Structure 1
Amino acid sequence: MRSKNLCLSFTSLCLLAAADTAIAEDWQYSLKAGVANAPRYSGSDERMTAPLLGGKIVSPWGIFLDTDKGLGWGYEGNALSFSAYVGASSARKDKNESLHAGSKRLKGMGEIKSRPQLGVSAAYNLGGVIVGATLEHALKEDDHKDTGKAYTHLELSLGTHLYEGRYGSVYASLSSHFGDRDYLQTWYGVTTGQAARSRFKEYKAGAGNISNGMNLVWSMPISEHTQFSTLLDVQYLADEAGKSPIVERRLQTSVMGVLEYTF
Protein backbone atom coordinates (compact mmCIF):
# COMPACT_ATOMS: atom_id res chain seq x y z
CA MET A 1 0.00 0.00 0.00
CA ARG A 2 2.88 2.41 0.79
CA SER A 3 4.31 1.84 -2.69
CA LYS A 4 0.94 2.64 -4.26
CA ASN A 5 0.77 5.86 -2.23
CA LEU A 6 4.27 6.79 -3.38
CA CYS A 7 3.20 6.20 -6.97
CA LEU A 8 0.21 8.50 -6.54
CA SER A 9 2.36 11.12 -4.81
CA PHE A 10 4.89 11.17 -7.63
CA THR A 11 2.16 11.38 -10.26
CA SER A 12 0.49 14.28 -8.43
CA LEU A 13 3.83 16.05 -8.04
CA CYS A 14 4.47 15.77 -11.79
CA LEU A 15 1.05 17.16 -12.71
CA LEU A 16 1.06 19.98 -10.16
CA ALA A 17 4.60 21.08 -10.92
CA ALA A 18 3.95 20.98 -14.65
CA ALA A 19 1.09 23.43 -14.22
CA ASP A 20 3.48 26.11 -12.95
CA THR A 21 6.15 25.58 -15.59
CA ALA A 22 6.66 28.16 -18.31
CA ILE A 23 5.26 26.89 -21.60
CA ALA A 24 7.89 25.87 -24.15
CA GLU A 25 7.62 26.87 -27.79
CA ASP A 26 6.68 23.49 -29.24
CA TRP A 27 6.56 19.74 -28.84
CA GLN A 28 9.89 17.92 -29.14
CA TYR A 29 10.41 14.45 -30.62
CA SER A 30 13.50 12.29 -30.87
CA LEU A 31 14.30 8.83 -32.22
CA LYS A 32 17.47 6.85 -31.61
CA ALA A 33 19.04 3.65 -32.89
CA GLY A 34 22.35 2.04 -32.10
CA VAL A 35 24.22 -0.97 -30.78
CA ALA A 36 25.70 -1.87 -27.38
CA ASN A 37 28.30 -4.37 -26.22
CA ALA A 38 28.10 -5.17 -22.50
CA PRO A 39 28.41 -7.98 -19.93
CA ARG A 40 25.54 -10.50 -20.06
CA TYR A 41 24.65 -9.45 -16.51
CA SER A 42 26.27 -7.39 -13.78
CA GLY A 43 29.26 -9.46 -12.68
CA SER A 44 29.46 -11.66 -15.78
CA ASP A 45 32.66 -12.31 -17.74
CA GLU A 46 30.58 -13.14 -20.83
CA ARG A 47 29.63 -10.37 -23.24
CA MET A 48 26.67 -9.74 -25.53
CA THR A 49 25.97 -7.36 -28.40
CA ALA A 50 22.43 -6.05 -28.78
CA PRO A 51 20.61 -3.38 -30.80
CA LEU A 52 19.35 -0.20 -29.14
CA LEU A 53 16.09 1.40 -30.24
CA GLY A 54 14.16 4.16 -28.50
CA GLY A 55 12.39 7.46 -28.63
CA LYS A 56 11.16 10.39 -26.57
CA ILE A 57 8.31 12.89 -26.73
CA VAL A 58 8.40 16.09 -24.65
CA SER A 59 5.34 18.34 -24.38
CA PRO A 60 5.47 22.15 -24.09
CA TRP A 61 4.64 21.74 -20.38
CA GLY A 62 7.54 19.43 -19.57
CA ILE A 63 5.57 16.17 -19.50
CA PHE A 64 7.50 13.47 -21.36
CA LEU A 65 7.21 9.89 -22.56
CA ASP A 66 10.63 8.22 -22.80
CA THR A 67 11.39 4.60 -23.69
CA ASP A 68 14.28 4.69 -21.18
CA LYS A 69 12.61 6.37 -18.19
CA GLY A 70 8.87 6.07 -18.78
CA LEU A 71 6.16 8.70 -18.25
CA GLY A 72 7.10 11.76 -16.24
CA TRP A 73 7.71 15.46 -15.96
CA GLY A 74 10.97 17.35 -16.34
CA TYR A 75 12.32 20.84 -15.83
CA GLU A 76 15.51 22.39 -17.23
CA GLY A 77 16.71 25.78 -16.02
CA ASN A 78 19.98 27.66 -16.36
CA ALA A 79 21.76 25.56 -13.74
CA LEU A 80 19.18 23.09 -12.39
CA SER A 81 17.46 20.18 -14.12
CA PHE A 82 14.93 17.85 -12.53
CA SER A 83 12.65 15.00 -13.54
CA ALA A 84 10.21 12.62 -11.87
CA TYR A 85 8.85 9.58 -13.68
CA VAL A 86 7.09 6.22 -13.54
CA GLY A 87 8.54 3.46 -15.68
CA ALA A 88 9.70 -0.15 -15.73
CA SER A 89 12.64 -1.60 -13.81
CA SER A 90 15.45 -3.70 -15.26
CA ALA A 91 15.14 -7.46 -15.70
CA ARG A 92 17.41 -10.51 -15.84
CA LYS A 93 16.95 -14.05 -17.14
CA ASP A 94 18.72 -17.29 -16.24
CA LYS A 95 19.30 -18.21 -19.88
CA ASN A 96 21.03 -16.71 -22.90
CA GLU A 97 18.91 -14.33 -24.97
CA SER A 98 20.20 -11.81 -27.50
CA LEU A 99 17.92 -8.97 -26.36
CA HIS A 100 17.82 -9.52 -22.57
CA ALA A 101 20.37 -9.41 -19.76
CA GLY A 102 21.14 -12.82 -18.27
CA SER A 103 23.05 -16.03 -18.87
CA LYS A 104 22.60 -19.79 -18.86
CA ARG A 105 25.30 -19.82 -16.17
CA LEU A 106 22.59 -18.46 -13.84
CA LYS A 107 20.37 -21.49 -14.45
CA GLY A 108 18.32 -22.18 -11.34
CA MET A 109 18.54 -18.59 -10.06
CA GLY A 110 15.19 -17.75 -11.62
CA GLU A 111 14.12 -14.68 -13.54
CA ILE A 112 14.22 -11.15 -12.16
CA LYS A 113 11.10 -9.72 -13.76
CA SER A 114 10.59 -6.09 -14.67
CA ARG A 115 8.07 -4.28 -12.49
CA PRO A 116 6.74 -0.70 -12.09
CA GLN A 117 9.39 1.72 -10.90
CA LEU A 118 9.30 5.26 -9.51
CA GLY A 119 12.20 7.59 -10.19
CA VAL A 120 13.41 11.08 -9.45
CA SER A 121 16.54 12.66 -10.94
CA ALA A 122 18.24 16.02 -10.44
CA ALA A 123 21.42 17.73 -11.62
CA TYR A 124 23.02 21.07 -10.76
CA ASN A 125 25.73 22.91 -12.68
CA LEU A 126 28.34 24.39 -10.34
CA GLY A 127 30.33 26.53 -12.75
CA GLY A 128 31.05 23.74 -15.22
CA VAL A 129 31.02 20.84 -12.74
CA ILE A 130 27.70 18.99 -12.84
CA VAL A 131 26.52 17.25 -9.67
CA GLY A 132 23.78 14.67 -10.22
CA ALA A 133 21.63 12.20 -8.29
CA THR A 134 19.04 9.63 -9.39
CA LEU A 135 16.85 7.69 -6.96
CA GLU A 136 14.69 4.78 -8.18
CA HIS A 137 12.32 2.51 -6.29
CA ALA A 138 11.04 -0.70 -7.91
CA LEU A 139 7.78 -2.08 -6.56
CA LYS A 140 7.21 -5.60 -5.27
CA GLU A 141 6.65 -8.40 -7.79
CA ASP A 142 4.49 -11.03 -6.05
CA ASP A 143 5.01 -14.02 -8.38
CA HIS A 144 8.67 -14.62 -7.48
CA LYS A 145 9.55 -14.96 -3.78
CA ASP A 146 13.33 -15.05 -4.29
CA THR A 147 13.60 -12.12 -6.73
CA GLY A 148 10.36 -10.17 -6.33
CA LYS A 149 11.04 -7.88 -3.36
CA ALA A 150 10.70 -4.12 -3.68
CA TYR A 151 14.08 -2.39 -3.77
CA THR A 152 15.72 1.02 -3.98
CA HIS A 153 18.75 2.19 -5.98
CA LEU A 154 20.68 5.48 -5.76
CA GLU A 155 23.24 6.84 -8.24
CA LEU A 156 25.46 9.85 -7.45
CA SER A 157 27.57 11.46 -10.16
CA LEU A 158 30.07 14.26 -10.72
CA GLY A 159 30.88 15.30 -14.28
CA THR A 160 32.24 17.98 -16.58
CA HIS A 161 32.72 18.77 -20.28
CA LEU A 162 36.31 18.05 -21.28
CA TYR A 163 35.93 19.41 -24.81
CA GLU A 164 33.45 21.43 -26.86
CA GLY A 165 34.34 22.48 -30.38
CA ARG A 166 34.44 21.60 -34.03
CA TYR A 167 34.43 17.88 -33.37
CA GLY A 168 31.47 17.86 -31.02
CA SER A 169 31.72 17.52 -27.25
CA VAL A 170 33.31 15.13 -24.77
CA TYR A 171 31.70 14.68 -21.37
CA ALA A 172 33.27 12.67 -18.50
CA SER A 173 31.76 11.75 -15.15
CA LEU A 174 32.50 9.73 -12.03
CA SER A 175 29.66 7.76 -10.46
CA SER A 176 28.84 5.65 -7.43
CA HIS A 177 25.86 3.32 -7.10
CA PHE A 178 24.16 2.33 -3.84
CA GLY A 179 21.34 -0.04 -2.99
CA ASP A 180 19.28 -1.15 -0.02
CA ARG A 181 19.48 -4.73 1.27
CA ASP A 182 16.68 -5.94 -0.99
CA TYR A 183 18.39 -4.48 -4.08
CA LEU A 184 21.70 -6.19 -3.33
CA GLN A 185 19.95 -9.45 -2.43
CA THR A 186 17.84 -9.41 -5.59
CA TRP A 187 20.71 -8.81 -8.02
CA TYR A 188 23.71 -10.35 -6.21
CA GLY A 189 22.38 -12.55 -3.39
CA VAL A 190 21.66 -16.28 -3.47
CA THR A 191 18.78 -17.53 -1.32
CA THR A 192 18.51 -21.04 0.13
CA GLY A 193 16.08 -22.01 -2.64
CA GLN A 194 18.31 -20.60 -5.37
CA ALA A 195 21.34 -22.39 -3.93
CA ALA A 196 19.46 -25.71 -4.05
CA ARG A 197 18.51 -25.18 -7.71
CA SER A 198 21.74 -23.65 -9.04
CA ARG A 199 25.51 -24.14 -8.90
CA PHE A 200 25.98 -21.28 -6.43
CA LYS A 201 26.34 -21.38 -2.65
CA GLU A 202 23.99 -19.35 -0.47
CA TYR A 203 24.94 -15.69 -0.10
CA LYS A 204 23.20 -12.94 1.87
CA ALA A 205 24.07 -9.49 0.58
CA GLY A 206 23.74 -6.38 2.74
CA ALA A 207 22.91 -2.79 1.87
CA GLY A 208 25.61 -0.42 0.70
CA ASN A 209 27.84 0.53 -2.19
CA ILE A 210 27.20 -1.47 -5.37
CA SER A 211 29.86 -0.10 -7.71
CA ASN A 212 32.09 2.86 -8.48
CA GLY A 213 33.30 3.95 -11.88
CA MET A 214 33.35 6.45 -14.70
CA ASN A 215 31.90 7.04 -18.13
CA LEU A 216 33.01 8.98 -21.17
CA VAL A 217 30.59 10.29 -23.82
CA TRP A 218 31.61 11.77 -27.16
CA SER A 219 28.76 13.43 -29.10
CA MET A 220 29.32 14.49 -32.70
CA PRO A 221 26.70 16.54 -34.62
CA ILE A 222 26.06 15.29 -38.14
CA SER A 223 23.41 17.82 -39.15
CA GLU A 224 21.05 20.31 -37.54
CA HIS A 225 18.80 17.52 -36.24
CA THR A 226 21.11 14.50 -36.10
CA GLN A 227 24.00 13.54 -33.85
CA PHE A 228 26.06 10.42 -33.20
CA SER A 229 27.23 9.55 -29.68
CA THR A 230 29.59 6.93 -28.32
CA LEU A 231 29.70 5.90 -24.67
CA LEU A 232 32.30 4.03 -22.63
CA ASP A 233 31.18 3.01 -19.14
CA VAL A 234 33.51 1.34 -16.61
CA GLN A 235 32.29 0.12 -13.21
CA TYR A 236 34.10 -1.80 -10.45
CA LEU A 237 31.80 -3.84 -8.21
CA ALA A 238 32.21 -3.03 -4.50
CA ASP A 239 32.47 -5.55 -1.67
CA GLU A 240 28.83 -6.55 -1.07
CA ALA A 241 28.28 -7.08 -4.81
CA GLY A 242 31.81 -8.15 -5.74
CA LYS A 243 31.93 -10.99 -3.21
CA SER A 244 28.77 -12.59 -4.59
CA PRO A 245 29.27 -16.13 -5.95
CA ILE A 246 27.51 -15.11 -9.19
CA VAL A 247 30.16 -12.45 -9.90
CA GLU A 248 32.83 -13.73 -12.26
CA ARG A 249 34.50 -10.37 -12.94
CA ARG A 250 34.34 -7.28 -10.76
CA LEU A 251 35.51 -4.85 -13.46
CA GLN A 252 32.59 -4.31 -15.84
CA THR A 253 32.86 -2.35 -19.10
CA SER A 254 30.16 -1.37 -21.61
CA VAL A 255 30.46 0.35 -24.99
CA MET A 256 27.67 1.72 -27.16
CA GLY A 257 27.10 3.86 -30.22
CA VAL A 258 23.81 5.70 -30.83
CA LEU A 259 22.47 7.78 -33.71
CA GLU A 260 19.80 10.26 -32.57
CA TYR A 261 17.42 12.30 -34.71
CA THR A 262 15.50 15.20 -33.09
CA PHE A 263 12.61 17.10 -34.68
Structure 2
Amino acid sequence: MKQKRRFFRPLGISLLLSLIPLSNALAAPENGLKIGVGIMSAPRYSGADDNHLTAVPIVNAKYNQFFFDMRRGLGIHWDLSNQFFFEQSIGYRAGRKDSDQTWGSGSDDLKGMGDIDSAWITTSRVGVQFNPLITLSFEATTALNHDQGMNYGPTLAGRLPIDDSWGLGLSAHWLMGTDDYTQTYYGVDSAQSVRSGFARYHSAGGGFGHTINFTLVKHFSPQLSANILVGYTHLSSKVADSGVVKDDNNLTSGISVGYQF
Protein backbone atom coordinates (compact mmCIF):
# COMPACT_ATOMS: atom_id res chain seq x y z
CA MET A 1 0.00 0.00 0.00
CA LYS A 2 1.36 3.37 -1.00
CA GLN A 3 2.06 5.83 1.79
CA LYS A 4 0.32 8.95 0.51
CA ARG A 5 1.25 11.16 3.47
CA ARG A 6 4.93 10.30 3.86
CA PHE A 7 6.34 13.47 2.41
CA PHE A 8 9.84 13.11 3.85
CA ARG A 9 11.18 10.74 1.21
CA PRO A 10 13.87 11.58 -1.35
CA LEU A 11 13.40 11.31 -5.12
CA GLY A 12 16.90 10.43 -6.33
CA ILE A 13 20.41 11.51 -7.17
CA SER A 14 19.38 13.20 -10.40
CA LEU A 15 17.00 15.56 -8.56
CA LEU A 16 19.68 16.72 -6.16
CA LEU A 17 22.12 17.28 -8.99
CA SER A 18 19.48 19.34 -10.77
CA LEU A 19 19.63 21.80 -7.86
CA ILE A 20 23.36 22.41 -8.13
CA PRO A 21 23.14 24.89 -11.06
CA LEU A 22 21.04 27.09 -8.74
CA SER A 23 23.87 27.31 -6.24
CA ASN A 24 25.07 30.70 -7.45
CA ALA A 25 22.00 32.48 -6.20
CA LEU A 26 23.62 35.86 -5.58
CA ALA A 27 25.02 36.67 -9.00
CA ALA A 28 24.93 35.55 -12.63
CA PRO A 29 27.33 32.69 -13.47
CA GLU A 30 30.81 33.80 -14.52
CA ASN A 31 33.62 32.05 -16.34
CA GLY A 32 35.46 29.63 -14.11
CA LEU A 33 35.51 26.23 -12.46
CA LYS A 34 33.68 25.19 -9.31
CA ILE A 35 34.45 21.92 -7.54
CA GLY A 36 33.14 20.51 -4.29
CA VAL A 37 31.36 17.66 -2.59
CA GLY A 38 27.87 17.08 -1.23
CA ILE A 39 26.15 14.69 1.16
CA MET A 40 22.64 13.76 0.11
CA SER A 41 19.67 11.64 1.04
CA ALA A 42 18.13 9.85 -1.94
CA PRO A 43 16.30 6.65 -2.89
CA ARG A 44 17.61 4.06 -5.34
CA TYR A 45 15.02 4.94 -8.01
CA SER A 46 12.13 7.31 -8.63
CA GLY A 47 9.18 6.18 -6.55
CA ALA A 48 11.16 4.16 -3.99
CA ASP A 49 10.14 4.47 -0.35
CA ASP A 50 13.54 4.09 1.32
CA ASN A 51 16.29 6.68 1.52
CA HIS A 52 20.06 6.44 1.88
CA LEU A 53 22.96 8.81 2.46
CA THR A 54 25.66 9.09 -0.18
CA ALA A 55 28.42 11.48 -1.22
CA VAL A 56 28.28 13.20 -4.62
CA PRO A 57 30.93 15.22 -6.45
CA ILE A 58 30.28 18.76 -7.70
CA VAL A 59 31.94 19.94 -10.90
CA ASN A 60 30.57 23.05 -12.63
CA ALA A 61 32.50 24.89 -15.32
CA LYS A 62 31.78 27.79 -17.68
CA TYR A 63 33.83 29.39 -20.43
CA ASN A 64 32.01 32.00 -22.50
CA GLN A 65 29.06 30.15 -24.08
CA PHE A 66 30.31 26.66 -23.12
CA PHE A 67 29.38 24.95 -19.85
CA PHE A 68 29.63 21.69 -17.94
CA ASP A 69 27.68 20.53 -14.90
CA MET A 70 26.78 17.23 -13.28
CA ARG A 71 23.17 17.22 -14.46
CA ARG A 72 23.32 18.39 -18.06
CA GLY A 73 26.85 17.36 -19.01
CA LEU A 74 28.75 19.34 -21.65
CA GLY A 75 26.84 21.99 -23.55
CA ILE A 76 26.66 25.32 -25.30
CA HIS A 77 24.49 28.36 -24.50
CA TRP A 78 23.35 30.91 -27.11
CA ASP A 79 21.79 34.24 -26.20
CA LEU A 80 19.06 35.10 -28.71
CA SER A 81 17.14 38.35 -29.19
CA ASN A 82 14.65 39.77 -26.67
CA GLN A 83 16.17 37.96 -23.66
CA PHE A 84 15.59 34.49 -25.17
CA PHE A 85 18.26 31.81 -25.03
CA PHE A 86 18.89 28.30 -26.32
CA GLU A 87 21.07 25.49 -24.91
CA GLN A 88 22.14 22.13 -26.29
CA SER A 89 24.02 19.61 -24.16
CA ILE A 90 25.20 16.01 -24.10
CA GLY A 91 25.36 14.09 -20.83
CA TYR A 92 24.98 10.71 -19.16
CA ARG A 93 22.02 9.20 -17.31
CA ALA A 94 22.44 6.33 -14.86
CA GLY A 95 20.26 3.29 -15.36
CA ARG A 96 18.19 1.31 -12.88
CA LYS A 97 18.88 -2.14 -11.44
CA ASP A 98 16.03 -4.46 -10.53
CA SER A 99 17.95 -5.41 -7.38
CA ASP A 100 20.82 -3.68 -5.64
CA GLN A 101 23.08 -4.89 -2.84
CA THR A 102 25.16 -1.70 -2.62
CA TRP A 103 22.84 0.09 -0.18
CA GLY A 104 23.90 -1.66 3.03
CA SER A 105 21.37 -4.44 3.48
CA GLY A 106 20.41 -4.28 -0.19
CA SER A 107 17.09 -3.83 -1.97
CA ASP A 108 15.14 -6.07 -4.32
CA ASP A 109 11.90 -4.07 -4.58
CA LEU A 110 12.04 -4.32 -8.39
CA LYS A 111 13.29 -7.90 -8.67
CA GLY A 112 11.98 -9.40 -11.89
CA MET A 113 11.44 -6.03 -13.61
CA GLY A 114 14.79 -6.19 -15.42
CA ASP A 115 17.42 -3.47 -15.63
CA ILE A 116 17.12 -0.10 -17.38
CA ASP A 117 20.35 0.60 -19.23
CA SER A 118 22.46 3.66 -18.54
CA ALA A 119 22.42 6.00 -21.53
CA TRP A 120 24.09 8.94 -23.18
CA ILE A 121 21.50 11.71 -23.41
CA THR A 122 21.03 14.96 -25.26
CA THR A 123 19.03 17.89 -23.88
CA SER A 124 17.60 20.87 -25.75
CA ARG A 125 16.51 23.86 -23.69
CA VAL A 126 14.92 27.15 -24.74
CA GLY A 127 13.96 29.91 -22.34
CA VAL A 128 13.48 33.56 -21.58
CA GLN A 129 15.30 35.59 -18.89
CA PHE A 130 12.64 38.03 -17.75
CA ASN A 131 15.14 39.83 -15.51
CA PRO A 132 18.35 38.87 -13.66
CA LEU A 133 16.26 36.98 -11.08
CA ILE A 134 13.52 35.07 -12.98
CA THR A 135 13.78 32.54 -15.82
CA LEU A 136 11.15 30.49 -17.65
CA SER A 137 12.43 27.61 -19.77
CA PHE A 138 11.36 24.41 -21.52
CA GLU A 139 13.65 21.44 -21.99
CA ALA A 140 13.45 18.01 -23.62
CA THR A 141 15.83 15.08 -23.05
CA THR A 142 16.22 11.88 -25.04
CA ALA A 143 18.61 8.94 -24.91
CA LEU A 144 21.05 8.66 -27.80
CA ASN A 145 21.93 4.96 -27.62
CA HIS A 146 18.75 3.38 -26.23
CA ASP A 147 15.05 3.58 -27.02
CA GLN A 148 13.79 5.02 -23.75
CA GLY A 149 11.47 7.74 -25.00
CA MET A 150 11.71 11.45 -24.19
CA ASN A 151 11.11 13.37 -20.98
CA TYR A 152 10.35 17.09 -21.13
CA GLY A 153 8.64 19.96 -19.37
CA PRO A 154 8.70 23.65 -18.40
CA THR A 155 10.66 25.09 -15.48
CA LEU A 156 10.13 28.38 -13.66
CA ALA A 157 13.21 29.38 -11.67
CA GLY A 158 14.07 32.36 -9.52
CA ARG A 159 16.81 33.54 -7.20
CA LEU A 160 16.65 36.10 -4.44
CA PRO A 161 19.72 37.74 -2.83
CA ILE A 162 19.10 38.22 0.90
CA ASP A 163 22.29 40.14 1.66
CA ASP A 164 25.93 40.11 0.58
CA SER A 165 26.48 36.54 1.75
CA TRP A 166 23.09 34.79 1.75
CA GLY A 167 20.78 33.92 -1.13
CA LEU A 168 17.75 31.78 -2.02
CA GLY A 169 17.07 29.75 -5.14
CA LEU A 170 13.66 28.29 -6.01
CA SER A 171 12.39 26.41 -9.06
CA ALA A 172 9.25 24.51 -10.10
CA HIS A 173 9.43 21.87 -12.81
CA TRP A 174 6.56 19.96 -14.44
CA LEU A 175 7.37 16.33 -15.26
CA MET A 176 6.22 15.15 -18.69
CA GLY A 177 7.20 12.29 -20.97
CA THR A 178 6.30 10.30 -24.06
CA ASP A 179 4.59 6.92 -23.82
CA ASP A 180 7.94 5.15 -24.26
CA TYR A 181 9.52 7.11 -21.41
CA THR A 182 6.78 6.59 -18.81
CA GLN A 183 6.42 2.94 -19.80
CA THR A 184 10.18 2.40 -19.46
CA TYR A 185 10.38 3.80 -15.93
CA TYR A 186 6.90 3.11 -14.52
CA GLY A 187 5.15 0.56 -16.75
CA VAL A 188 4.84 -3.19 -16.20
CA ASP A 189 4.46 -5.39 -19.27
CA SER A 190 3.21 -8.98 -19.29
CA ALA A 191 6.67 -10.57 -19.01
CA GLN A 192 7.68 -8.24 -16.17
CA SER A 193 4.39 -8.99 -14.40
CA VAL A 194 5.08 -12.73 -14.45
CA ARG A 195 8.65 -12.32 -13.14
CA SER A 196 7.98 -9.62 -10.52
CA GLY A 197 4.45 -10.33 -9.33
CA PHE A 198 3.34 -6.75 -10.09
CA ALA A 199 0.07 -6.27 -11.92
CA ARG A 200 0.38 -5.32 -15.58
CA TYR A 201 0.39 -1.55 -15.95
CA HIS A 202 0.50 0.66 -19.02
CA SER A 203 1.69 4.18 -18.26
CA ALA A 204 0.52 6.61 -20.93
CA GLY A 205 2.59 9.66 -21.84
CA GLY A 206 1.93 13.24 -20.82
CA GLY A 207 2.28 15.00 -17.49
CA PHE A 208 3.07 12.68 -14.59
CA GLY A 209 4.13 14.95 -11.72
CA HIS A 210 5.96 18.04 -10.61
CA THR A 211 8.97 19.02 -8.53
CA ILE A 212 9.75 22.04 -6.36
CA ASN A 213 13.43 22.68 -5.64
CA PHE A 214 14.80 24.97 -2.93
CA THR A 215 18.39 26.10 -2.34
CA LEU A 216 19.78 28.18 0.52
CA VAL A 217 23.26 29.53 -0.25
CA LYS A 218 25.89 30.88 2.13
CA HIS A 219 28.98 32.61 0.69
CA PHE A 220 31.91 32.62 3.10
CA SER A 221 34.10 34.37 0.53
CA PRO A 222 33.92 35.10 -3.22
CA GLN A 223 35.34 31.61 -3.77
CA LEU A 224 33.93 29.42 -0.97
CA SER A 225 30.21 28.69 -0.54
CA ALA A 226 27.87 26.14 1.02
CA ASN A 227 24.38 25.08 -0.06
CA ILE A 228 21.44 23.46 1.69
CA LEU A 229 19.35 21.64 -0.91
CA VAL A 230 15.74 20.40 -0.69
CA GLY A 231 13.55 19.05 -3.49
CA TYR A 232 9.97 17.82 -3.25
CA THR A 233 8.37 15.70 -5.97
CA HIS A 234 4.82 14.48 -6.36
CA LEU A 235 4.09 11.69 -8.86
CA SER A 236 0.54 11.83 -10.21
CA SER A 237 -1.77 8.83 -10.56
CA LYS A 238 -0.64 8.43 -14.18
CA VAL A 239 2.48 6.68 -12.84
CA ALA A 240 1.88 6.40 -9.07
CA ASP A 241 -0.68 3.62 -9.56
CA SER A 242 2.09 1.40 -10.94
CA GLY A 243 3.41 -1.36 -8.69
CA VAL A 244 6.97 -0.06 -9.05
CA VAL A 245 6.06 3.19 -7.25
CA LYS A 246 6.18 2.63 -3.49
CA ASP A 247 5.78 6.29 -2.48
CA ASP A 248 4.34 9.03 -4.70
CA ASN A 249 5.54 11.91 -2.50
CA ASN A 250 9.30 12.23 -2.21
CA LEU A 251 11.83 14.56 -0.67
CA THR A 252 15.48 14.88 -1.65
CA SER A 253 17.77 16.75 0.74
CA GLY A 254 21.44 17.46 1.05
CA ILE A 255 24.24 19.85 1.86
CA SER A 256 27.24 20.74 -0.28
CA VAL A 257 30.40 22.83 -0.17
CA GLY A 258 32.09 24.23 -3.25
CA TYR A 259 35.09 26.31 -4.22
CA GLN A 260 35.09 28.65 -7.23
CA PHE A 261 38.38 29.05 -9.11
> TM-score scaled to structure 2, two decimals?
0.79
Identical counterparts, % of pairs: 24
**Pairing 1:109–2:107 present:** no
Distance 1:33 1:85 in 2: 23
Residues 161 and 189 (structure 1), Cα distance of their counterparts in 2 relative to 1, 3 Å cut: same
CA-based RMSD: 2.4
Structure 1 residue 163, shift from structure 2 partner: 4.5
Q: Is the 8 A contact 2:119 2:143 kept in 1?
A: yes
Amino acid at match of 2:34: S
Residues 172 and 59 (structure 1), Cα distance of their counterparts in 2 relative to 1, 3 Å cut: closer
**Pairing 1:47–2:51 present:** yes
Q: Secondary structure at the match of 2:109?
A: helix
1:139 is matched with which residue: 130, 136, 144? 144
Structure 1 residue 79, shift from structure 2 partner: 4.4
Aligned residues: 228
Q: Secondary structure at the match of 2:199?
A: coil
Alignment of 1:31-70 (within 5 A): 31-60=35-64, 62-70=65-73
Residues 225 and 76 (structure 1), Cα distance of their counterparts in 2 relative to 1, 3 Å cut: farther
In the alignment, what sits opposite 2:123?
Answer: 119
Pick the structure with greater CA Rg: 1
Amino acid at match of 1:217: T
In the alignment, what sits opposite 2:74?
Answer: 71
Q: Is the 8 A contact 2:38 2:58 kept in 1?
A: no
Q: Is the 8 A contact 1:39 1:253 kept in 2?
A: no
CA deviations 1:97-151 (Å, max 9, x no partner) are 548xx9411111111111121112233232443212221111353xxxxxxx331
In the alignment, what sits opposite 1:169?
Answer: 167
Structure 1 residue 232, shift from structure 2 partner: 0.8
Structure 1 residue 28, shift from structure 2 partner: 2.0
**Pairing 1:180–2:178 present:** yes
In the alignment, what sits opposite 2:198?
Answer: 200
> TM-score scaled to structure 1, two decimals?
0.78
Q: Please, which moves more after superposition, 242-251 or 26-35?
A: 26-35
Structure 1 residue 80, shift from structure 2 partner: 4.4
Distance 2:257 2:77 in 1: 23
In the alignment, structure 2 segments of 5+ residues that lack a partner are 1-29
CA deviations 1:198-224 (Å, max 9, x no partner) are 131111110011212311111111211
Q: Secondary structure at the match of 2:153?
A: strand
Amino acid at match of 1:71: L
In the alignment, structure 1 segments of 5+ residues that lack a partner are 1-25, 142-148
Higher relative contact order (CA 8 A, sep 6+): 2
